[in-house]
Structure 1
Amino acid sequence: MLERTNFNLVIDGPPLTPKANRLKDGLKRTAFWPVISQRTSDFKVHNTYLKPDVFTDSVEEYWSMRRHAGLWDVTGEEVVEITGPDAMALVARCMPRKLTRLTDGMGIFGFLTYPHGGVVEDGIITRFNDEKLWWVGGPGPAEVWLAANATDLDVSVRSYLDQIHLCAVQGPKSRDILQSVTDRDLSAVPWFGMIEARVCGIDTVITRTGFTAELGYDIHIAVDRALEVYEGLMETGEPQGMVLCGSQAMNIRRMEAAILNIGAEIDWTTTPLELGWDRMLDWDREFVGRDALAAQRDAGVTRRIAGLTLQGDTVARGGDAVLCDGREVGLVSSGIWGPSIEASIALAMLHTPAWHNGTAVTVTTPSGDVPAVVAPLPFFDPERALARA
């Protein structure tokens, strides 16, 4: 085995270039394109793939999902498979969170860190057994970072971005809809659980996860059979009120749930301590970035992600300044109108002491200054009762 590579950090850019550079090879269509392209012409780019942004109306899609179910194309969420005798050792090295709940057939939310403590990427790590795990994340450089830290380990790291495509069924009727075309008992699958099952007669991996904080499932399918599963779910679900949903509807719900998004709230300069993930860190073992994070912990965190509730119906946008007593204390990362809480909400990285709940602030929007207050996160369903249902 080669000796483990020591990467020199730079101060004017991320230590590793994100795989968005793959775009130079051209945009790609997901396995579900033949159906989706007949329903919408409104697309966005996610990890080199064209994905539907909206089908009819984002708020209508949101409410259909909340009341019944929604079907999403979530291709671009990248499956990175980690296999070999040292698979768990690699995960423990690169992911600083506690791993006690990462048992066979279960997944956990996780994040990878650089030596300076910044976040490489966040995602879901799922364990099939102690020699096979899946990391499923977004457009960050997880595959490259895991491989770079595995050169002295007996382990293989492989991306299935173009071989496994994903769709998601989310909402209160998602279990009933998926159960009717699945050969396994979904009621036995816990939150963040995983099973290998046949859906519409096709082999898949199902995880009880999603980006909506609702009851829901992500379905991982070999690309050559994925369209059959998608069409089968449509045939079964649409008579029960399920609709096709785009990224905008998902973004509304993830904002209400305060699910942080890479490229908005998360980048290589933000640390787990600043993102509110303190309680997840396992200080009892070594991991990449531990020294830097321990130093930040001991010195005291000077900024932290926070929620804002704005007065009126003005929606804040990423980059809007947040003022406290006339002084800029941070920037908005995302903003949306929250239909379930009937308020304009935002996420912002705020400097101390402005991040404390109840602090009165002002958001400088293109429409003018808007009074706001720092609010507890998440904005809606704080106990995640819907996802745990």
Structure 2
Amino acid sequence: MSTPSPLHAVHEALGASFTDFAGWAMPLRYGSELAEHKAVRTAAGLFDLSHMGEIELTGPEAARALDYALVGKLSAVKPGKARYTMICDADGGVLDDLVVYRLAAEKYLVVANASNGPAVAAALRERAEEFDVTVDDRSADVALIAVQGPTSAAIIGAVTDADLDALAYYASVPTTLAGHDVLLARTGYTGEDGFEVYVDGPLAADVWQALTAAGEPHGLVPAGLACRDTLRLEAGMPLYGNELGADLTPFDAGLGRVVKFDKADGFVGQAALERRRDADVPERVLVGLVGTGRRAARHGYPVLDAGGAEIGTVTSGALSPTLGHPIALAYVPVAVSAPGTALSVDIRGTVAPVEVVKLPFYQRPA
């Protein structure tokens, strides 16, 4: 049986269609996912992301523990800032991609994907055993609400006294919203400006309703997981289980920059990732593909070279609501990875031409 989010009754009242996502009953859409997608690009969308995992690390050696457990150098993150990073296994395979907030000198919040939350918490506990730190999985107690889109700052500004001008991208601040204590972060997964609000589960409905009221004059609409996926795809952001997995390293996904090798205690997977970093020619790399027409390649569809031979696999694909043509992410050999390279995809027996392009597909106006 799927676990309901703290906002389940709110979603039911809004007429949401639900889907099981990593054991959670989450809103897939409220009406038209196309309309929800376009609202995020032009105004704002309100998302329930309470399925995500939240794990706190507290103690004098929290920074050292995370430096060892993750590929990033979290000791270099200043309080109030956040960092995108990953947790890898000893072979360098990605167990999950994470956002880590440094809340104080000795306190961090690790945010994991829903499907991996328990495994990440268990791995962090195991890897932190030799350090003076406490690992607390708070996923069941914390709700996460996101406001994403060009009008998100105006909406958040109407319900909090936090200085949003001083809140940079990938930064957070404890504040109050609708009279409740929250952690407000300027982060997101849509390619737009936006905010994520961490709040105790029982208070989530009050925060949601306050944001709904504040967003009414700014075009805010509730938005489900379906449009969140097309938004992140347009922004070229990886999804665990598609572009990332235990059989892939950060370097395969073009994210080798998140791996930091200058750490005093080393880290889990370091030797394997050093070998991958130093490899002369990687076996595969992640690229963007654009097509024509209305049919989009989907996850698992073959990528073909000019002679029709299968050379790669689509990891994510959709008809882009913003751009009006098919887009996809795919793993292909380095030799055919340069922007402008002509390839094709097999869409259920139909060979459709595509071109390799530089990511992201969409970038919000400056």
Question: TM-score, normalised on structure 2?
Answer: 0.95
Aligned to 2:59: 84
Letter in structure 2 aligned against 1:133: Y
> Is 1:197 aligned to residue 175 of structure 2?
yes
Q: Give the Cα–Cα distance (whole angstroms) in 2 for the partners of residues 258 and 155 of structure 1.
A: 35
Letter in structure 1 aligned against 2:101: T
Q: Give the Cα–Cα distance (whole angstroms) in 2 for the partners of residues 279 and 181 of structure 1.
A: 36
CA contact (8 A) 2:84 2:258 kept: no
Aligned to 2:278: 298
Aligned to 1:333: 315
Task: Please list the CA deviations of residues 307-366 of structure 1 after superposition, one character each: whole Å capped at 9, or x if unmatched.
Answer: 111122211111100011322111101101112222200001112312222221110011
Q: Give the Cα–Cα distance (whole angstroms) in 1 for the partners of residues 89 and 46 of structure 2.
A: 35
CA contact (8 A) 1:314 1:367 kept: no
Letter in structure 1 aligned against 2:144: L
Aligned to 1:357: 339
CA contact (8 A) 2:66 2:74 kept: no
Aligned-residue Cα RMSD (Å) equals 1.5
Aligned to 1:246: 224
Cα distance, 1:385–1:280 mapped onto 2, change above 3 Å: farther
Q: Which runs of 5+ in 2 are unaligned?
A: none
The 10-residue stretch of structure 1 (349-358 or 363-372) with the greater mean CA deviation from structure 2: 349-358
Q: Residue 116 of structure 1: SS of its match in structure 2?
A: coil
The 10-residue stretch of structure 1 (144-153 or 162-171) with the greater mean CA deviation from structure 2: 144-153
Aligned to 1:289: 269
Q: Residue 302 of structure 1: SS of its match in structure 2?
A: coil
Letter in structure 2 aligned against 1:288: V
Q: Give the Cα–Cα distance (whole angstroms) in 2 for the partners of residues 98 and 354 of structure 1.
A: 33
Q: Residue 379 of structure 1: SS of its match in structure 2?
A: coil
CA contact (8 A) 2:184 2:195 kept: yes
Deviation at 1:65, TM superposition (A): 1.6
Q: Residue 220 of structure 1: SS of its match in structure 2?
A: strand
Question: TM-score, normalised on structure 1?
Answer: 0.89
Aligned to 2:357: 375
Task: Please list the CA deviations of residues 47-100 of structure 1 after superposition, one character each: whole Å capped at 9, or x if unmatched.
Answer: 322111111111111111211111000111111101111110111112223447
Aligned to 1:94: 69
Aligned match of 2:291 in 294, 310, 325? 310
Superposition map of 1:158-237 within 5 A: 158-237=136-215
Q: Give the Cα–Cα distance (whole angstroms) in 2 for the partners of residues 224 and 41 of structure 1.
A: 20
> Is 1:73 aligned to residue 48 of structure 2?
yes
Q: Give the Cα–Cα distance (whole angstroms) in 1 for the partners of residues 258 and 176 of structure 2.
A: 34
Deviation at 1:32, TM superposition (A): 1.1
Aligned to 1:4: none
Q: Residue 229 of structure 1: SS of its match in structure 2?
A: helix
Aligned match of 1:270 in 248, 251, 254? 248
Q: Give the Cα–Cα distance (whole angstroms) in 2 for the partners of residues 102 and 337 of structure 1.
A: 38
Aligned to 1:11: none
CA contact (8 A) 2:69 2:128 kept: no
CA contact (8 A) 1:40 1:52 kept: no
Deviation at 1:294, TM superposition (A): 1.2
Aligned match of 2:106 in 108, 119, 131? 131
CA contact (8 A) 1:47 1:77 kept: no
Q: Residue 202 of structure 2: SS of its match in structure 1?
A: coil
CA contact (8 A) 2:64 2:75 kept: no
Q: Give the Cα–Cα distance (whole angstroms) in 1 for the partners of residues 206 and 270 of structure 2.
A: 45
Query: Deviation above 4 Å: which 4+ runs of structure 1?
Result: 98-101
Cα distance, 1:122–1:385 mapped onto 2, change above 3 Å: farther
Q: Give the Cα–Cα distance (whole angstroms) in 1 for the partners of residues 58 and 22 of structure 2.
A: 23
Identity among equivalent positions (%) equals 30
Letter in structure 2 aligned against 1:226: A
Q: Give the Cα–Cα distance (whole angstroms) in 2 for the partners of residues 358 and 320 of structure 1.
A: 20
Q: Give the Cα–Cα distance (whole angstroms) in 2 for the partners of residues 271 and 364 of structure 1.
A: 26
Q: Give the Cα–Cα distance (whole angstroms) in 1 for the partners of residues 326 and 152 of structure 2.
A: 28
Aligned to 2:35: 60
Q: Give the Cα–Cα distance (whole angstroms) in 1 for the partners of residues 285 and 74 of structure 2.
A: 24
Cα distance, 1:147–1:100 mapped onto 2, change above 3 Å: closer
Cα distance, 1:385–1:160 mapped onto 2, change above 3 Å: farther
Q: Residue 142 of structure 1: SS of its match in structure 2?
A: helix
Q: Give the Cα–Cα distance (whole angstroms) in 2 for the partners of residues 98 and 162 of structure 1.
A: 27
The 10-residue stretch of structure 1 (202-211 or 91-100) with the greater mean CA deviation from structure 2: 91-100
Aligned to 2:325: 343
Letter in structure 2 aligned against 1:234: T
Cα distance, 1:241–1:251 mapped onto 2, change above 3 Å: same
Letter in structure 2 aligned against 1:113: C
Deviation at 1:41, TM superposition (A): 4.1
